[in-house]
Amino acid sequence: MRKSLAGAAIAILSVVGFVSPADAAVVRFANCTAMHKKFKGGVALPGAVDHRTSGHAKYAPYRSTAWYNANSRLDRDHDHVACEQ
């Protein structure tokens, strides 16, 4: 009985997949100041490159498609990094 339950649990987890804790409750921030309280470097799409002229950001952004899509209106320069610092 235990073997069948363990096998069923493994099968369910492999189909459902895992969601990172940070992506579990995506929030739409009112502005960049509010976002910086949670993510100092802002949020970015995976693989996005910051196009700032200084060469690098002060903080690395959190990379998540869900968080970026919820807050993409805060990406003023349209480089797929919202509220970079």
In angstroms, the CA 59 to CA 30 distance is 20
Smallest Cα–Cα separation from 82: which of 47, 27, 39?
39
Confidence of residue 58 (pLDDT cuts 50, 70, 90): confident
Residue 78: what pLDDT? 92
Residue 44, strand partner residues: 63, 81
Residue 51 pLDDT class (50, 70, 90 cuts): confident
* Residue 50, pLDDT score: 81
For residue 23, the model assigns a pLDDT of 66
**What count of other Cβ atoms lies within 10 Å of the Cβ of residue 70?**
16
Cβ-based neighbours of 23, under 8 Å, separated by 6 or more: 64, 66, 67
